[in-house]
Amino acid sequence: MAVTSTQQRPEAQPRSVTILGSTGSVGCNTVDLIDRQPEAFSVEALTGNRNVAVLVEQARRLRPRFAVVGDPGSYRDLKDGLEGTGIEVAAGHDALVEAASLPADWVGAGIVGAAGLEPTLAAIHRGAVVGLANKECLVCAGDLMVREIARCGATVVPVDSEHSAVFQVFDFDNADKVESIILTASGGPFRTLDRETMASMTPAQAVAHPNWDMGAKISVDSATMMNKGLEIIEAYHLFPVEKDQIEVVVHPQSVIHSMVAYVDGSVLAQMGTPDMRTPIAYALSWPRRMAAPAPKLKLTEIGDLTFEAPDPERFPALRLARDALTRGGTAPTILNAANEIAVQSFLNGRIRFLDIADVVEKTLDLTPHGQLESISNVLQADGAARDTATSIVSRYPALD
């Protein structure tokens, strides 16, 4: 089990926090929550990738000790923007790892993609409470992450709305009485479209999620349903269940965020409006709860809640993810890396929407799989998969 318990801290003591990826969607929502209750938190570090303007604005509001931009070329802009504040600034990958290593009680792991793996591991290695928003960490290096969490006595509290929901209703003391985890999926913006129509969908259409306000990459993952495939892999590492105990059901209203079914027939669900500030607030304040500004759920106004099975023909990403989980080793690492390349190629107008899953499947077939024993195995497989996926993308005809 990847989740451990920690002793409760005194109520009056502010929780010190570091936010990795503070300029992204999850990071900005975390900053918003902290800004609403500044007396409850002190900020050790904020990090961003290239959006220096947002990072500077956040740092001037929250006054962290350390601010880091991942892009070394943006260092001067960050330094100039924080001139006179006394905030220490740095840039580059090593500085991101350094930020994660600072003695914060809680670290929000919100760096998108495989780039977040080493900073997240740095926080785990010092036994921090990690609010995990980066599902790719457990996808790329699940077995390794779980071993390190146990070895270092770290605590992982999931931030994804689905895994947060499961975490809130999972009976860890009676895990053998769990029949299944049921992850809900909105179905994304193309839920009702046939494959012929999906073939012509544009990046702008793919990122227009009907329920959630998310970044471009995760929005495209929702449209392909790869996000749910990645969540299956993540759930396997977060919770003590077998691979075949994780189900997916399409729930367009995004009110029930996930469920846990028990052997006595009980099915426990966590519900709420589709607002990421709810699961972030839960992780940020765990093991207690804090007020969040999400709209309150009013079931009488919603009316109907509907459910349907996902279509494996129109959304092959679910099959690819399950196959990678079954293969084990570096297969999920390869899946994730190929998907990142394919999604970015789609957003850049290089390939079409349906080509995303095709690139991932071909990359899984062509990239050698290996064991997952160290971070070097992860990085090697990730790099090889990116090279293979990039080569595959280059063979597609140029789009008009």
Q: What is the pLDDT of residue 215?
A: 75
Instruction: Name which residue leads in pLDDT, 215 or 85.
Output: 85
The span from the CA of 315 to the CA of 265, in Å, is 30
> How many residues does this entry show for the chain?
400
Average pLDDT estimate for 32-36: 96
Helix (H) or strand (E) holding 257: strand 256-262
pLDDT range class, residue 135, cuts 50, 70, 90 = confident
DSSP letter assigned to residue 3 = -
Best CA proximity match to 334, nearest among 261, 298, 286, 386: 386
Domains of the chain: which residue ranges? Answer: 15-159
Tokens of 92: 């580059």
Residues of the chain with pLDDT > 90: what percent?
87
Q: What is the pLDDT of residue 5?
A: 40
Q: Are 222 and 186 in contact (CB under 8 A)?
A: yes
Average pLDDT estimate for 96-116: 92
The string of pLDDT tens digits covering residues 213-244 is 667 888 899 999 999 999 999 999 999 999 99
Position 9 pLDDT exceeds 60: no
Give the CA distances from residue 275 to residues 122, 257, 295, 397, in Å, rounded to whole numbers and listed in that order.
29, 11, 8, 39
Which residue stretches of the chain are H helix?
25-36, 52-62, 75-81, 93-101, 117-125, 135-152, 161-169, 195-198, 203-206, 216-224, 226-238, 277-285, 299-302, 317-327, 331-347, 355-366, 375-394
Q: Are 139 and 234 in contact (CB under 8 A)?
A: yes
**Which CATH fold would you assign to the domain 15-159?**
Rossmann fold (3.40.50)
The string of pLDDT tens digits covering residues 340-365 is 999 999 999 999 999 999 999 999 99
pLDDT range class, residue 145, cuts 50, 70, 90 = very high
Q: What angle do CA 109, 375, 324 make, to 5 degrees?
A: 80
Tokens of 343: 């999604």
- b/e burial code for range 224-253 (CB count within 10 A of at least 16 → b): bbbbbbbbbbbbbbbbebeeebbbbbbbbb
The mean of the pLDDT values for the chain is: 93
Q: What is the pLDDT of residue 8?
A: 44
